[in-house]
Every structure is written in structure tokens, then in C-alpha cells.
Amino acid sequence: MKAVIQRVSKASVTINNTEVASINNGLLVLLGIVLEDTEEDINWLVKKITNCRIFNDASRVMNLSLLDTKGEVIVVSQFTLHASTKKGNRPSYIKAARPEVAIPLYETFIKNLQSVLPSKVQTGQFGADMKVRLLNDGPVTIIMDSKNKE
């Protein structure tokens, strides 16, 4: 399971010209799921994301976590995070989990994330054509991979 987390001042998701999610000060989480992912991957990512100290303290040092700041979150499914560009110029998405596997894991990820955060976790819609807007704060962008825990 891969997540690209972006610290944002603002973020929103629009589907069919309707805004379905909008936050200030928090994280936009792009989530990619593969067939081999399990609840163990979910739990590792939720703990890492909520405790990652990437928000500024009073001294402008990245020393605070999402839990410390009570920041907001939008989670967006993004199968393209598992694109393989090894051969040719057209990415292959064969590693990305099919919806019947990915949707339950995506929903469990959101539920587990929600269980530790005080504010409502907002989302896009799995499989929809979404327009994602963000104002990356910093910019701060971090890639987390539950299969490559660096």
C-alpha cells in the first residue's frame, strides 16, 4: 500500500462539477492499493500518517503531527501510484488491485484513520473521475510504502 501525503493549507475534490470534499490545514492523502495489501498494511500506514511530525511548531520547526494539530484529512484513491514505467512509454497498472479487492481495503483504511482523528475524514469517490485541488504548504510531500518501510 502506498500513500503520498501532502501537507496542505487547502484541498478539495470535485466530481461532476460538485465539490464532495474540502479541507483547510491538514493532509491530502493519495492512496494506492495492491492485491497483496492487508489490514497490517493499513494499520502501519494509519499510524505513520497520523504520527508523522511534518507540521510546524511555534518555532517553525516541523515537530508536530496531524494528531497534535488536529488537522483535517482528505483521502483519495489513486491506482496510478502503482504504475510501472519499466517498459515502453505507456505505464502499466497491473500491480494495482482490482476494485473488488481495493474498495474494502480503501474503506477499512478510511474507517481506521477516522477512529484516531477528531475531525471527519473526507474522501473522494473510488473509481470516479475526480478533480483534486490543493495548496501544498511548504511544499511538504512524503511518499510512504507499507512494503518498503523507509
Question: Could you tell me which residues are beta bridge partners of residue 34?
Answer: 96
Radius of gyration over every alpha carbon of the chain, rounded to an integer in angstroms:
15
Catalytic positions: 78-80
- DSSP state, residue 43: H
Selection from 129, 126, 100, 112 nearest residue 32 by Cα: 126
d(CA 76, CA 106): 9
